[in-house]
Amino acid sequence: MTLLQTLLRATAFKNPLLRTLVPSVALAYGIQAAVAVPSIAAQTERYYDLSGSFTYLSCTALSLVLPYMRARAAGTITGGITDDEGKDSRFDSIRTSPPKFLVAFFAQATWVSLCTLPVILVNSVPRSAYATSLLGQAVSSKPYLTDVLGLAIFVFGLTFEVVADRQKDAWVQGKKQKKHSEEFLTHGLWSKSRHPNYFGEATLWSGIAIAAAGLLVRQPAQAALGLSGGIGGQVLVAGMCAASPAFVSFLLLKVSGVPLSENKYDKRYGDRKDYQKWKRETPMFVPKIW
């Protein structure tokens, strides 16, 4: 028996959703554990962020190909914030503590698992059911509201984050080249929100969740996932999709995003009137529209 056949047999749950969800989450923790061991030994977080991106892409890819591999195995397929290079201040207090460092990697595995939930759920739906679910859309030649809304929110959030990051990069480079002497960035999107990049990130995940939930609450998708199709099943998938942006927002607002940045700059510039004025007039997260 090959390794693939062993994997498929071990995860051949009765519920179609679990067949994809369990292996994807297991992969997230497996990759993070594999990276954590040498990182703990070397006391370095150099590959922490890279491993997070790799884990996210790997789990997404696995959730996409698993239904295909199962169908093929069954014979049913038909044609068709960094201070310097390699250092991250977030790890200064835990780098030398193996248990705490391991928790950081497992926390990242949890982050990836929750963030990818909407994608994993959509990829869990067999192609036949997916086509059936979209049949009404093909006949009417009109997209569903959740499709349009989710895509629009995703594009807006992604654009907002990219523009904010580029504005900050340009500001940093300008300061290095002595083109200005500003101590903190207060123009562009940074005059609308003190953390526009974090707002953009939370927003783009919300768009993905809305688009995914719009598909998954439909009857063909519910049936394909082994759910009843009633209000209970719809609430379940909608809640699982919502967990992604909710968890991202929680991390950004309460854990490693906004709090770290706010504390850092408060200590550095808290006694300056121009900094206090910027804080008073600029929302922390959701940007002002004027």
Q: Judge if 239 and 283 occupy the same domain.
A: yes
Amino acid at 116: T
With both helix axes pointing from N to C terminus, report the angle between 98-115 and 16-42 in degrees, rounded to the nearest 10.
150
Cβ partners under 8 Å of residue 15, min gap 6: 225, 226
- Counting the structural domains of the chain, the total is 2
Mean of the per-residue pLDDT values of the chain:
81
Looking at the domain assignment, is residue 101 inside a domain? yes
Whether residue 155 is found in the same domain as residue 196: yes
Helices (H), the chain: 3-10, 16-42, 48-73, 98-115, 117-124, 127-133, 135-140, 145-176, 196-216, 219-224, 231-250, 258-269, 273-281
64 and 178 housed in the same domain: no
Same domain, 149 and 264: yes
Domain boundary among 94, 126, 158: 126
| 183-236 tens-digit pLDDT | 889 999 999 999 999 999 999 999 999 999 998 898 888 888 888 778 998 999
Any domain includes 284: yes
Query: What does the alpha-carbon distance between residue 39 and residue 101 come to, in Å, rounded to a whole number?
Result: 8
Containing domain of residue 114, as a range? 1-76+84-126
For the stretch 33-86, pLDDT in tens is 999 888 888 888 888 878 887 887 888 788 767 766 666 665 443 333 334 454
Q: Are residues 103 and 153 in the same domain?
A: no
pLDDT tens for each residue of 267-290: 999 899 999 999 999 999 999 987
E strand spans, the chain = 82-84, 87-88
Kindly report which listed range (15-19, 92-96, 169-173) carries the lowest average pLDDT score.
92-96
DSSP 116: T
Output the six-digit token pair for 141.
């030649």
Spatial separation of the C-alpha atoms in residues 164 and 198, rounded to whole Å: 9
Residue 82 near residue 88 (C-beta atoms within 8 A):
yes
User: Considering the domain boundaries, does residue 134 fall inside one?
Assistant: no
Residue 53 within a domain: yes
Distance in angstroms (rounded) separating the CA atoms of residues 236 and 219: 13
Q: Are residues 49 and 115 in the same domain?
A: yes
Match 């503590």 to its residue by tokens. Answer: 97
Q: Is 90 within the bounds of a domain?
A: yes
Residue where a domain terminates, one of 126, 152, 186: 126
Token duo for residue 217? 């609450």
Does any domain span residue 135? no
Asked whether residue 133 is assigned to any structural domain, the reply reads no
pTM: 0.70
Q: Residue 223: its pLDDT value, please?
A: 85
Calpha distance 212→237 (Å, rounded): 9
Mark whether 108 and 153 lie in a shared domain.
no
Amino acid at 125: V
- What secondary structure does DSSP assign to 119-177, as a single string? HHHHHHS-HHHHHHHTHHHHHHT---HHHHHHHHHHHHHHHHHHHHHHHHHHHHHHHHT
Q: Does 131 fall in a domain?
A: no
Q: Which tops the pLDDT comparison, 159 or 106? A: 159
